[in-house]
Structure 1
C-alpha cells in the first residue's frame, strides 16, 4: 500500500504544479483584462513654453576661483549666445572692460548655454576662447530665446556659490550700450554702504501677458494665468544688489518658471515681498537711439544702440576726456 502511494507521488506533484501554473496563467490574463478596461493614470502635460528649471544643470565652463582673492564691487552678467564671438570681444574692449572705472573692482562674465544645432563644433571654439579670457560661464541647457530665464538663473546660482559677497550686479544683454562709469557714480556710489534688496532699471508696471501665439513674447494661460505681471525691470539691462542673487536663486526653485526672463525676476521679487526701486528718470532707455556722446554720457542703458563694429568705432570718442559736454 505504501509502495503504491509512493509510486503515485510524482503524478500528484505534477497535478499540483500544473494546477498552480493554470491558476497563475488565468490570474495573469484576468489582471491584464482589468488593466485594459481601467484608464491609465493621468500624466501631467507641460506646455512647450513652460521652462524646465533644474538644479541639476552642470557647468560646462566655469570660473569658480574668480572671487577667492576678494569680492568685486560690481559684476557684469552679460547674456550672450555661444556663437557671438565678435560681440564678446567688442564688449571686452569697450563697456565691459574691467578697468573702465578707476578705483572700482569690476568682474565681467558672459553667460551662455549650448547651441541647439551646432553645439559640438562650437564648443571647442568656446573652450579655447574661455581658456584665453577666463570670463565665460556655461551650463548644459539649450541656448534658446525661451531659455533666457535659465541663463539669468545660472548667473544667480554662480554668484550664490562662488561670489556671494559682491556688492552689486548688472544683468545686461549683449546688444545694449552700458555706461558703467555713470551708473557707478550716480546709482551705486561706492563710498556708501551697499544697498540691500535693491533692483532698479526701466520699470514696467501693470504690463499684461501677450496672448498672441505669433508674438515673440507670447505667454500662454497655462504658463502664467494672471491678468497682469508684478512690476519688473525691463530685460535689456538692470542693476541689483548682491544679496538678491541668493534670494532669487532660492525662491526660483519653489515657483513655476516662465519664459519671460525679466518678468520672472519681477515674479521672484513679488514672492520675496521685495519691491523694485525707481531710478532717476531717463537713465534706462529701452528704445533705439542715435549715437550722440553728450546724450549718452547721462544715461546708464540704451537698447539697442550699435552692432559690435559700430561699438568699437564710437567707443574711443565716447571715452575722450577732451570733448566736454554742457551740464
Structure 2
C-alpha cells in the first residue's frame, strides 16, 4: 500500500512539472505577429564628436568619420528628427588650404601649438603629412618576372636603405639577400631608397647609384626626402609598388640594411606553416603596451601636441615577415590611417585597422644577442634575424651557416 502511494505521488509531481512547462512556454514564447517587426532604438546610439587636441588624433578622427556611413548619415539627417546631430562641423571636413596634398601645408604651424619649438625633422613631417604620392625615379618593373620560369617569387626581400650605404647593400647581395633559388624556393631582393638631398648635407652620389643599379637592377628609388621620420612614406610607397609590380609574392620580408637574416631559417619556418596561419602571417619582435617618447633628446620624440594615447602592438622595424596575402589589405588600411612619423608603429596601426595583431617570434632579435654568443656560429642557427651587424659580420655569419662541416649538436 505504501509503495502505491509513493508511485501516485511521483506521477502527480511529474504531471505538475509538465503543466508548469506548458504554461510558461505559452506565455513566454515570442508573438508571431511581432517576429517581423524591426526594433528601432528610441534614442541615438552615437554621441556628438569633439575634436582631439592632438594633431594626429584629429586627422584620424576625420578619416574615421569619412569612412563611417552611420555617422555621416547622422550628421546629414535633415528629416526633422529631434535627435539628429546636425550639420557636419567645420573641423570634421578637414579641407586644407591647399588643393594639392603634396604642397606644404602651412596651416599646421597654427594647428600644432608648439610647432615652432619642434625638431626640424618633425616640422618637415607635419608640413608634408598629407602627401602619399611621390615620383618613382628608379623602378624594376619586371623584377618579379625575372625569376626562373617567370613565376612570382616565393619570398620577396625588401630592404630599407640609404643612398650612401653601398657596402651594406653589397654585403646583403653576397649573403642573406642573395637573389635566385635558395632551398628550392625563388627569392627576389629589392632595396628601397628615397632622395638623399643636399639639404641634409648628403654628397651627390647619383652617378654611383646609376652604376650600381645598372649592374644589379634591384634598386627602387622615389623622389622624396629620405629621413628617419619619412620611413613611413617608404612603407606606403612600397605597398603600392607591390600591388602593381609584385602582387603574386607569397611572403615578404621587410627590414633594415644593418640586420642579419637567416634566410635559410626563414624558408624552413615558412615550409612548416599551416594554410590558415600562413594567410594572415605577420611575425617579428613584437612590442606591446608602448607609448610615445616625450623626451626631446630621444630620436623617437613625439610631443603631446601630435599624439595622445598608447601604441597598438607592433613589430620592431628592424625586420618582420608577413604573408603576401596581407599586402593588398595593408595598402587599403594605410589609406584609412593618418601617416605617423614612426614607420613600425604606423604598420601596427594599419594591422589594428584590419583587426589583426603581429605575432611575436623569439627568433627575431632586434635588440641583438648577448656579447658572449656573437662569435658562436651555432647561436645563429635557431635565429631568424639579429640586429645590428656590420657588412663584414653579415658575410661571416652567412659563411658559417652555409658551412657543411658546422656541427651544432
Q: Same fold by TM-score, threshold 0.5 exceeded?
A: yes
Q: CA deviation at 1:311?
A: 2.5
For the pair 1:137 / 2:220, whether they are aligned, the reply is yes
Distance 1:100 1:174 in 2: 21
**Aligned partners of 2:171, 2:311: CA distance in 1, in Å?**
35
Describe the shift of the 1:278–1:312 C-alpha distance in structure 2 as closer, same or farther (beyond 3 A).
Answer: closer
What secondary structure does 2:407 align onto?
Answer: coil
Matched, 1:258 2:335: no
User: Of 273, 290, 300, which aligns to 1:217?
Assistant: 300
> Is contact 2:180-2:188 (8 Å) kept?
no
Is 1:43 aligned to 2:107, yes or no? yes
Call closer, same or farther: CA 1:275–1:310 in 2, change over 3 Å. Answer: closer
**Structure 2: how far apart are the matches of 1:249 and 1:191?**
24
SS in 1 for 2:183: coil
1:263 positional shift: 0.5
Equivalent in 138, 148, 159 of residue 78 of structure 1: 159
CA pair 64-222 structure 1, distance change in 2 beyond 3 A:
farther
Aligned partners of 2:399, 2:278: CA distance in 1, in Å?
Answer: 32
**Partner residue, 1:110:** 191
- SS of the residue 2:206 aligns to: helix
Alpha-carbon deviations, 1:148-170, whole Å to 9, x = none?
Answer: 11222222111111111111101
Compared with structure 1, are the counterparts of its residues 53 and 139 closer, same or farther at alpha carbon in structure 2 (3 Å cutoff)?
farther
The aligned counterpart of 2:364 is: 284
CA gap of 1:210–1:100, structure 2 versus 1, over 3 A, is: farther
The match for 2:139 among 51, 57, 62 is 62
Query: For each residue in 1:107-135, what CA deviation from the matched residue of structure 2 results, as whole angstroms up to 9, or x when unmatched?
Result: 10000100022678312211221111010
SS at match of 2:173: helix
Q: Partner of 1:195: helix, strand, or coil?
A: helix
After superposition, residues 1-327 of structure 1 pair within 5 angstroms as: 43-45=107-109, 48=123, 49-50=125-126, 52=129, 54-68=131-145, 69-99=150-180, 101-117=182-198, 121-186=204-269, 188-189=270-271, 193=275, 195-226=278-309, 228-279=310-361, 282-289=362-369, 290-304=374-388, 306-326=389-409
Q: Which has the higher contact order (CA 8 A, sep 6+)?
A: 1
Partners of 1:197 and 1:222 in 2: CA distance: 34
Output the aligned Cα RMSD. 2.2
Q: Deviations over 1:138-191 (max 9, x none)?
A: 1011111111112222221111111111111011111111001111112x1178
Q: 1:270 to 1:78 in 2, by over 3 A?
A: same
- SS state of the match for residue 322, structure 1? coil
Query: CA offset at residue 207 of structure 1?
Result: 0.7
Q: Determine the structure 2 residue equivalent to 1:18.
A: none
Deviation at 1:245, TM superposition (A): 1.8
Detail structure 1 runs of 4+ shifted over 4 Å in the superposition.
Answer: 190-194
Give 1:21's aligned residue.
none
Q: Is the contact made by 1:100 and 1:181 (CA closer than 8 Å) also made in structure 2?
A: no
Counterpart CA distance in 1 for 2:328 and 2:306 is 24
Counterparts of 2:130 and 2:401 in 1: how far apart (Å)?
A: 40
Between the two proteins, the alignment pairs up a number of residues equal to 281
Change (3 A) 1:44 1:151: closer
Aligned-partner Cα distance in 2 for 1:207–1:102: 38
Contact 1:53 1:150 in 2 (8 A): no
**Alpha-carbon distance change, 164 to 100 in structure 1, aligned in 2, over 3 angstroms:** closer
Change (3 A) 1:99 1:53: farther
Shift of 1:310: 3.0
- Residue range with higher mean Cα deviation, 308-317 or 252-261: 308-317
Alpha carbons 1:114, 1:141 under 8 Å: kept = yes
Shift of 1:213: 1.2
